[in-house]
Amino acid sequence: MNKATTQRQHTPLDRMADNMTQFHPDTHWLAEYVSGSLPEAQALCIATHLEFCPQCRADINALTEIGASLFSATDDTTPLNPQVLDAVWQSITPDNNPPPAVAIQAESHPTSVPAYPDSFPRALRKLIPDGTSGLPWKNIGSRLSVAKLHRIDAERDVSLHRLQPGGVVSDHDHGGREITVVLSGSFSDQNGQYHPGDFLVREPGETHRPTASEDNECICLAVCDAPVKFTGLFSRLLNPLVALQHRH
Amino acid sequence: MPEKQQAVKDEWAPLLAKVAENQDRQAFTRLFAHFGPKIKAYGMSLNSMYTSVEMADELVQEVMIKVWEKARYFKPEKASASTWIFAIARNCRIDYLRKMKRIDSPLRVEDLWPVSEEPDPITTLNQSRNEQSIQSVVNTLPREQASILRAIYVEGKTHSEVASQNNLPLGTVKSRVRLAIEKLRTGLPNHE
């Protein structure tokens, strides 16, 4: 099963501590995240998953320590330009003191309380300053709506997908690789059932038919390399809409 | 802390504490002398058309200014000094590339790569000892694993870039990285 390579499962012991999140990014995702080479839109997916998953946070810490030891072991014989230290002194000199600790996130929008689903990830809040209800949702079929978010890297679309309770999305093939992170509710497809925090990768050419659970709407973060192509019954109807979604 | 006796001391952490508490310039100068050249080497290693000596010097400057300003956020129980500084250097390098590529984003690098968060109980371990054990295992890695790991972390290459530049299948690169990381992780005291 090909997909298994992109969906790492922790050991049963790990899962006891973390019984919600079952689908995790593979090691190579985490390594590129830690080393900083992962494109920002994909890094957003990892950062979002990490907020749900203590086990992957532990993995990230271990991977960061590995990075730090490689960093510490670098060949550091390159001479330092003595002016660099002078420049540092100059820029920290104004009042000689580190600035006082600033309360984290004294952000704008004090007037309204944005409506987020419970435990909405911090990494995403800045992209959705007015809450999920303030987004420009576009209906794609009767049960699925999509809201495009601000692009954060040149090659990928970032959007939220909202699937009504019991809603089914017709079979579709992703024209490019798509990462999905469940934010609230749950959905299932032929490979399993996905809950908040679950991290899924669909490679181009894989088709699937997600179905939301009956009791709640399901909201997911989706980051896609290229337009999604619908292969199901309504493909001719749906594709122009999707093309519209992906036009920039 | 019953394990204290066996722990290898993180000699840089107390210097960061002095910078945080007393704005101690002597402590800071020692940190600069130790980490400055490493940050510069890290900048020079970046696999990018934007890499240059000037960029590396600028990176040293920016990282060390952040070290001065953020020393009070450093939590020795969460990370060793070098792990913390590595994370800052990584973020500054991402930020530099972002500026070069004129990426317009409402997110700061720290929104996507948070550095000073509260420690998770599960990950609060003896960080400096970890680093020592990782270091000793790194030295025993087969050459090909060590060089790929360096390409990923220090040169900032993606797995695909490593694969194409070394004429290796992507799957081979991924599995070498995974193997190397597994070996390094088993060197960690609280692994399983």
Q: Does the CB of A2 have a partner CB in chain B at under 8 Å?
A: no
Do you know the residue count of chain B?
192
Q: Which residues of chain A are within 8 Å of residue B43 when distances are taken between CB atoms? A: none
Residue with tokens 């060089």: B147
Does residue B119 sit in the same domain as residue B81? no
The C-alpha atoms of residue A125 and residue A128 are separated, in whole angstroms, by: 5
Question: Does the distance separating the beta carbons of B69 and A92 come in below 8 Å?
Answer: yes
Q: Does the CB of A94 have a partner CB in chain B at under 8 Å?
A: no
DSSP code, position B116 = S
Residue B149: domain span: 109-187
Does residue B14 sit in the same domain as residue B95? yes
Q: Percentage of residues in chain A with pLDDT exceeding 90?
A: 40
The encoded tokens of residue B36 equal: 């400055």
Q: Which of B79, B102, B125 is the last residue of a domain?
A: B102
Q: Which residues of chain A are within 8 Å of residue B36 when distances are taken between CB atoms? A: 80, 84-85
Does residue B14 sit in the same domain as residue B92? yes
Average pLDDT, stretch B8-21?
90
Single-letter amino acid, residue A100: P
Query: Does some domain include residue B145?
Result: yes
Does residue B21 sit in the same domain as residue B68? yes
Does residue B179 sit in the same domain as residue B134? yes
| CATH code assigned at B94 | 1.10.1740.10
Position with higher pLDDT, B94 vs A215: B94
Residues 6+ apart with CB under 8 A from A114: A125, A128, A129, A130, A131, A134
Q: Which residues of chain A are within 8 Å of residue B37 when distances are taken between CB atoms? A: 76-80
Does residue B14 sit in the same domain as residue B91? yes
Does residue B64 sit in the same domain as residue B114? no
Query: Does some domain include residue B170?
Result: yes
Q: Which residues of chain A are within 8 Å of residue B153 when distances are taken between CB atoms? A: 31, 34-35, 66-67, 70-71
Does residue B35 sit in the same domain as residue B78? yes
* Confidence (pLDDT) at A232: 52
Query: Does some domain include residue B158?
Result: yes
Low-confidence winner among A117-121, B76-80, B125-129 (lowest mean pLDDT): B125-129
Does residue B95 sit in the same domain as residue B131? no
Burial status of residue A21 (CB atoms within 10 A of its CB: 0-12, 13-18, 19 or more): buried
Q: Which of B48, B72, B102 is the last residue of a domain?
A: B102
| Domain count for chain B | 2
Cβ atoms B31, B18 nearer than 8 A: no
Is a pLDDT exceeding 80 seen at residue B106?
yes
Tell me the per-residue pLDDT of A178-222, one tens digit each, with 9 for 90 and over. Answer: 999 999 999 998 888 999 999 999 888 888 888 898 888 999 999
The C-alpha atoms of residue A65 and residue B127 are separated, in whole angstroms, by: 8
Given pLDDT bands bounded at 50, 70 and 90, which one contains residue B6? very low
Pick from A65, A75, A127: CB nearest B83: A65
Q: Which of residues 129-148 of A touch B (CB under 8 A)?
A: none
Q: Which residues of chain A are within 8 Å of residue B133 when distances are taken between CB atoms? A: none
Distance in Å, alpha carbon of A105 to nearest chain B alpha carbon:
10
The C-alpha atoms of residue A33 and residue A63 are separated, in whole angstroms, by: 10
CA-to-CA separations, B117 to A56, A57, B84, B111, in angstroms, rounded: 15, 11, 11, 11
Does residue B94 sit in the same domain as residue B114? no
Does residue B19 sit in the same domain as residue B66? yes
Q: Order of strands, edge to edge, in the sheet holding A144-148?
A: A138-140, A144-148, A157-163, A218-224, A178-184, A199-202
Cβ atoms B107, A152 nearer than 8 A: yes
CB-hemisphere CA count at 13 Å for B68?
28
Q: Which of B49, B72, B102 is the last residue of a domain?
A: B102
* Confidence (pLDDT) at B1: 42
Query: Does some domain include residue B36?
Result: yes
Q: Does the CB of A150 have a partner CB in chain B at under 8 Å?
A: yes
Residue B174, number of CB atoms within 10 A of its CB? 21
Does residue B70 sit in the same domain as residue B91? yes
